[in-house]
Structure 1
């Protein structure tokens, strides 16, 4: 179904489809429904993108997701994926084809009998335009959009009025919106799916205790190797990670620094989490321990939350510039992660995208945690005098950490008192300064 105005066209790919108890898997009550939706399981659905959709893709692309409460009143993980299916196939096995994750989200704690009973999520993914319009991809594959949302009804069966004996957990709607018209494509897309999120303890997740989820047992570090078939003039990684583990001391409740390396060089460091989860409180209509009884301060939210029930998980874009053909690596390290009791993990999705000519879209304005644009120049001034580092900023700096190039934390403090590095050996170090506006700046020093 398409709807147009003067500037955009919208395609409703999924229209209030019902997801069921994820543990029923293949026993989907709607398996015989003839609505054009391929139901891989009770938690993973797919629809093909036909030519009437693909031929209308413009330069800007948005994915808009709406999740309505049924009989799951807990926070769950969901995501939107793109699957590359052999040309002419009318069905496929999800784990047997290449797939990339386009957007991840966390559902709120919802009581279906209270309003609002629907939560919206949105992603701007302009880089998807090049993929959906590329003839070299479309001549080889049919493109299918997937909606994945795993839920269970067992608590709601007991706690939510009208949910006794029911297995439906959520309803999901997905709208693909795009600008028009599109400019001509320049170059061919070189797309490499590297890692795809799986359920806990599967091969592409990250933790420190599963042989398939780490390079070395006891360390939260994993390396992926991939091959670029030809030189590209511009390239990027798209990375999605979220920390899970709700046990006492679990990773869900501890913000950890994440480090991403490309061919051995650090290209991104970040600590997940919003400045505050209060904007999403309205969607959490079921009482829960995350939001509590009343408003929490920014400091409290920043002390424990990696993500907010009712919010998206960030798509992290890492610009690489020109990349030569050959074998390359990407490594993610979370050196402080504990995984108490060998519980929890970090589901990881990564893909590489490059162009043989021209540049990837730059029209996306990066946003920081409070929704304001990332500044074009540093907001933290760092001065090194002898063996001391001093940081100043127009914003309040509430956390400063010093790391070596392997991601080991050597120093951590609150506030901006001078940092004594006299005990550190000569070498390169990273100084992370986290401010009260939700933005983190990373400065490199050579001692």
Structure 2
């Protein structure tokens, strides 16, 4: 357990001031602005620095004006004590503090002969390299006070400009001389009482405070057992191979980014399995939840002429299929089978999956929805997972999609409750869905996930097959989904048997998936879709049955646009 130092920020600053006899003295107030690639960054919160001969406070204009949003961070540099005090106000009545006694002493610079004038003061140039970033500092000694807009270069002079890698610049825009300045007291104006904690704990708390974490599942078992039961929090279906939880999402801003994090380990199952994280839309008369509660046969049926019936896989006027947030594949027995020893193999304990799901935020923003996870398995121990969704604020998100319409999902997440495998591609019609667009959609695209399965060595799991997508009867895209990097994940797969040819099963290339990975969606440009009726068709040359084995294709598609 990390040790928490039980001393408040106020008492710490008082102690430092007493030791160093810090009193209000003549000083400076400097405003710095940021620019990138020669352009001033819009709507920025300018850096504000108060500096005396012994101390420097790095804050901001919004903090100084009482308009800063939580969390916000400030730094106090005490040069006589060679200390950096960092304070983050997490909430109105909660802040955390840490003290670094070493960082200033560790800074090294190359001092160069170049000079230039900034705001009327002659500046010299210093250079340093941090984490492969070249930082150039322009500093002056004409004001006889030291300081900088970051903790870097606090002892070399008054830094008026910082240039990172030649394209990101922090530069002083105004210098104001102040009769009486005490940076320590300035810091106390903007913060509440705060306990000092160690640097690593501080960094962790501050990092986590910058985004919203929604816990979905924590150490939940997904297995196959008649004894799997629901409780007040977690619903279990299909003999425990599906877990479901109702989640209330806050309003998600247009610029925010959305990420899904899942951690998996074997709790008994030795095999690689298909997994899917999904949301159940309930915007129409019927939903996938009806199938979970009352059986797969209650879901709308899709038929294409091959003699089989496929339950709940395509959108209709009265039904919306599940929205796949992430398709993932478990490795062979991670954690549970780590006792298997091979030379030069140290097995990983868990496998992490992380997926950007920003495209789909309109389906959950401000809504209460069911979020589920499926892992197809027939093992009583099964698998153990934990899962979070994070909302990360962003000032300049490149994602412009505000329309997200689920169209199809052939992944039979109710596999253990009788939902048919996705074998419809053995017929020339393949998969076809007709949908109505109420108004024109600009820059439409299909978020498409595809993986091939089954048939052993001659099946579509191990044989490349072309996927072709048609819009309104016209071919618009085709490609061969194939992964050749599966051997990179060998250390996730302790139970993957070794073959006589020197390979293991987890090394083999597959139809767009590897044991221990998630499958990325691809984006198929559809152009502008006019209001009215449209049809999307997916064709794949599915392999023929071989004895008792057969091939299948799990494909999901969501219509995106503006």
Change (3 A) 1:179 1:223: same
Residues in 2 aligned to 1:348 and 1:329: alpha-carbon distance in whole angstroms: 16
Q: What residue is the counterpart of 1:198 in the other structure?
A: 412
1:117 aligns to 2:349 (yes or no)? yes
SS of 1:152's equivalent?
coil
CA deviations on 1:219-244 (whole Å, 9 max, x unpaired) are xx332222222222232212222111
Q: Look up the match of 2:223.
A: 20
SS in 2 for 1:278: helix
Number of the residue aligned with 2:13: none
Map residues 127-276 of structure 1 onto 2, 5 A cutoff. 127-133=359-365, 138=367, 142-153=368-379, 167-180=380-393, 189=403, 191-198=405-412, 205-209=422-426, 214-216=427-429, 221-276=430-485
CA drift at 1:31: 2.8
State the match for 1:389 in structure 2: none
Q: Which structure ranks higher in relative contact order (CA pairs < 8 Å, sequence separation ≥ 6)? A: 1
2:50 is the alignment partner of 1:50: no
Q: Distance in 2 between matches of 1:290 and 1:178?
A: 44
- Structure 1 residue 103 and structure 2 residue 334: aligned? no
Mapping 1:289-438, distance limit 5 Å: 293-294=502-503, 301-302=508-509, 306-335=512-541, 337-341=543-547, 343-355=550-562
Q: Distance in 1 between matches of 2:376 and 2:389?
A: 21
How far off its partner does 1:70 sit? 0.8
Q: Alpha-carbon deviation of 1:73?
A: 0.1
Give the aligned partner of residue 277 of structure 2: 80
**TM-score, normalised to structure 2's length?**
0.50
Secondary structure of the equivalent of 1:251? Answer: coil
For 1:231 and 1:20, the matched residues in 2 are separated by: 44
Deviation for aligned residue 1:19:
1.1
Displacement of 1:204 after TM fit?
Answer: 7.8
Q: Could you tell me whether the CA contact under 8 Å between 1:257 and 1:270 is conserved in 2?
A: yes
Unaligned regions of 5+ residues in structure 2, if any?
1-204, 300-318, 339-346
Alignment RMSD = 3.5
- Superposed displacement of residue 316, structure 1: 1.9
- The two structures have a TM-score, normalised by structure 1, of 0.61
Q: 1:29 deviation in Å? A: 3.1
Q: Deviations over 1:369-390 (max 9, x none)?
A: xxxxxxxxxxxxxxxxxxxxxx
Q: Secondary structure at the match of 1:5?
A: helix
- For structure 1, list consecutive stretches of 5 or more residues without a partner in the other structure: 154-166, 356-447
SS of the equivalent of 1:110 reads coil
Counterpart-to-counterpart distance in 1, 2:326 and 2:499: 23
Partner of residue 59, structure 1: 256
Residue 245 of structure 1 contacts residue 344 of structure 1 at CA under 8 Å; is this kept in 2?
yes
Give 1:31's aligned residue. 230
Shift of residue 186, structure 1, vs aligned partner: 8.4
SS in 2 for 1:322: strand
> What CA distance in whole angstroms lies between the structure 2 residues aligned with 1:168 and 1:301?
26
Gap change, CA 1:190 and 1:285, over 3 Å in 2: closer
Q: CA deviation at 1:292?
A: 7.2
Query: How many pairs were matched up?
Result: 314
Deviation at 1:76, TM superposition (A): 0.5
Tell me, in whole angstroms, the C-alpha distance in 2 between the residues paired with 1:171 and 1:262: 40
CA contact (8 A) 2:359 2:401 kept: no
Query: Deviations for 1:11-55, whole angstroms, at most 9, x for unmatched residues?
Result: 22111101111xx4xx343434x4x2222330111122214x445
Which residue of the partner structure matches residue 211 of structure 2? 8
Alpha carbons of structure 1 residues 145 and 183: separation in structure 2 relative to 1, 3 Å: farther
Instruction: Indicate how the Cα distance of structure 1 residues 92 and 182 shifts in structure 2: closer, same or farther if over 3 A, else same.
Output: farther
SS at match of 1:253: coil
Whether contact under 8 Å (1:251, 1:338) holds in the other structure is: no
Distance 2:508 2:329 in 1: 16
